[in-house]
């Protein structure tokens, strides 16, 4: 069962390459994936080498399955990869242009650069509707103040990532656009009803689900009128009743980083991990704290022994993860440096990024692919 639990973890690493302890931990615990933070990325050659090193571990792992290699790449402020990777503008620029063709090509071109260096999962697009002008956490990360525009353009972004062979992950379900507090530091509390969420915040997610979205990320936001006890990321109402039963979302539900203070100031780490699985999360995300994945796996094992967590739930999560990997990660290794050199910072990508930032994109940049 430990091997099944490990596949439900995406974790951070500390540097530009794996330490022996990190590699041994990933192999021993059959870890499902890695997230790249700013501390893990330097340039194309280094990122390629790190991705190859990580994927090379699968031959020693219990399932021999490819690993998710993930990153936060939205454009604008949330942009882990630096030059010579193309510097993409924030999504608000796409919203101003209001073209699904531009949105599709933006995600496709960004995805091509990610995929070249072995990244296969992007925690994007951001589908938050920017309803509160004082919300600096989201701001220009949002496509628009209009739910319809975010839904239309966000769905095109999802399709563009998929075209580039990248697994997209829409965030921050059920919507972070109205909050004032940053969930990295505090637990935002929203007094909206489900009916209010349904007409604004949830509309882009429903559209993205129809675009065959692979992942959705649950946010650490509490809605007392909908679930008086748990924030959305730990809420059976939001994950099972809404996502699974009402919206019929069939792919993977991942939490936002479970070490954010929105949760850790209110619950202990063991409780967080177990509750996320109980509520309906399939994958747990740990970005920064090296001890957290161990605490999580130990807590889940204990909950299985104590019968506070049904083993069928853990097995179902495992099966969902493995099915998506089998379907989508058939060729997980990064491309050769020669190929990477032709893709990273491609002149058409640079022109496209500049044109989007300027607010006018020539037709030839939308239609062609590298």
Active site residues: 184, 256
User: Exposure string (b/e) for 291-304, b if CB count within 10 Å is 16 or more?
Assistant: ebbbbbbebbbebb
Question: At a CB cut-off of 8 Å and minimum separation 6, what does 167 contact?
Answer: 68, 120, 121, 122, 161, 214, 215, 324, 328
- C-alpha distances out from residue 2 to 31, 173, 342, 351, Å: 10, 28, 42, 48
CA 198/CA 206 separation, integer angstroms: 10
- C-alpha distances out from residue 320 to 27, 214, 307, Å: 20, 11, 22
The answer to whether the beta carbons of residues 340 and 114 sit under 8 Å apart is: no
35: helix, coil or strand?
strand
The answer to whether the beta carbons of residues 283 and 253 sit under 8 Å apart is: yes
- C-alpha distances out from residue 33 to 76, 115, 128, 254, 335, Å: 25, 15, 25, 12, 19
Which structure tokens are listed for 218? 């649950």
Helix (H) or strand (E) holding 302: helix 292-306
């Amino acid at each position: 069962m430990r091997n099944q639990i490990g596949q439900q973890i995406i974790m951070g690493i500390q540097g530009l390459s794996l330490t022996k302890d990190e590699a041994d931990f990933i192999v021993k615990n059959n870890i499902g994936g890695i997230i790249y933070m700013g501390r893990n990325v330097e340039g194309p050659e280094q990122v390629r080498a790190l991705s190859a090193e990580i994927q090379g571990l699968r031959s020693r792992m219990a399932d021999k399955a490819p690993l998710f290699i993930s990153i936060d790449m939205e454009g604008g402020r949330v942009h882990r990869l630096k030059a010579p990777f193309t510097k993409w503008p924030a999504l608000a620029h796409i919203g101003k242009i209001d073209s699904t063709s531009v949105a599709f090509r933006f995600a496709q071109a960004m995805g091509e650069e990610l995929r070249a260096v072995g990244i296969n999962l992007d925690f994007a697009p951001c589908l938050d509707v920017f309803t509160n002008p004082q919300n600096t956490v989201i701001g220009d990360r949002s496509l628009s103040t209009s739910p319809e525009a975010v839904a239309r353009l966000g769905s095109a972004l999802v399709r563009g990532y998929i075209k580039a062979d990248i697994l997209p992950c829409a965030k921050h379900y059920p919507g972070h656009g109205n909050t004032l507090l940053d969930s990295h530091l505090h637990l935002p509390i929203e007094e909206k009803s489900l009916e209010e969420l349904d007409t604004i915040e949830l509309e882009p997610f429903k559209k993205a689900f129809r675009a065959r979205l692979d992942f959705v990320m649950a946010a650490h936001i509490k809605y007392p009128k909908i679930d008086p006890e748990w924030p959305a990321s730990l809420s059976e109402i939001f994950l099972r009743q809404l996502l699974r039963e009402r919206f019929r979302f069939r792919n993977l539900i991942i939490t936002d980083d479970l070490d954010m203070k929105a949760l850790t100031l209110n619950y202990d780490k063991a409780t967080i991990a177990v509750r996320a699985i109980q509520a309906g999360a399939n994958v747990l995300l740990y970005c920064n704290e090296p001890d957290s994945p161990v605490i999580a796996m130990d807590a889940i094992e204990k909950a299985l022994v104590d019968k506070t967590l049904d083993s069928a739930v853990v097995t179902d999560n495992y099966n969902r993860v493995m099915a998506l990997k089998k379907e989508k990660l058939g060729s997980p290794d990064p491309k050769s440096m020669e190929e990477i050199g032709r893709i990273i910072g491609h002149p058409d990508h640079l022109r496209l990024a500049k044109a989007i930032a300027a607010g006018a994109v020539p037709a030839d940049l939308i239609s062609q692919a590298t």
